[in-house]
Amino acid sequence: MTDRHSRPHTGRIALVTGSTGGIGFAVAERLAALGADIALHGFGDADQIGRQVAAVADRFGVRVHHFDADFTDAGCFPGLVERINGRLGPVDILVNNAGMQHVCSIVDFPPDKWDAMLAINLSAAFHTIRLCVPAMLARGWGRIVNIASVSGLVGTANKPAYVATKHGLVGLTKSVAMEFATTPVTCNAICPGWVLTPMVQKQVDALGAREGLDGAAAAARLVGAKQPSQTFVTVRQVASLVGYLCSDDAAEVRGAHWNMDGGYVAA
């Protein structure tokens, strides 16, 4: 007999975008531990992704399938959702995590990078939400969690596209939450500070090369400049918050932009 307390999402389907590594994979593991069948999305080495799929399925006893889709192509989304419906079923939990970063002065910022970041960081969430919500409403339950950033709450120099798209994602979250406020479908955003993901590691490496610092010193410099705790947020901590926002206890958490940032915004 399934323990509905420890595995409350048994029988539910979770789509986590950008989930072949970093925050997204940690979120996928957390939701699988709670009983959800998982639609992994993202790019990477095919053999490595195959091992990830098998490991999550074996460890948590859930169905796991990988789906690739290029989010810079707005036409990919109907096909993606149709494939998920065919392999797993309608999406009950949607976690919009896919994102990219480019650090550069706006004067020199490549327009193609702007367009790609707008598509992946913001427009993708619009498309997945609009296509997944009807089934959530029909089934009488749904959770949408958008992984934004502390950069969705404050500005940062040399990150014009990232800041703009993450602010937009917070705004989208509020609008969707208000639209479905009288339904069992909730929408919230998580705004992490510095999380030591591969994307952030690139910034650590760039800082180290620029300032002549070793890896540990560069990481300390980066996180210490903004995060009063002097400590990176972990992917597991973000995943645990996603788990809470997808729970029945969070049924009246609606339109929140929950910062998890070691005191970044409080400073």
Show which residues are catalytic: 162
The residues, any chain, with a CB within 8 Å of residue 261's CB and separated by 6 or more, are: 150, 191, 192, 193, 194, 227, 233
The residues, any chain, with a CB within 8 Å of residue 184's CB and separated by 6 or more, are: 140, 141, 142, 251
The residues, any chain, with a CB within 8 Å of residue 205's CB and separated by 6 or more, are: 215, 218
Instruction: Report how far residue 250's alpha carbon sits from residue 240's, in angstroms, rounded to the nearest whole number.
Output: 13
What DSSP string describes 92-119?
SEEEE---------TTT--HHHHHHHII
Instruction: Report how far residue 241's alpha carbon sits from residue 146's, in angstroms, rounded to the nearest whole number.
Output: 12
Dihedral Cα 216, 219, 225, 230, nearest 10 deg: -70
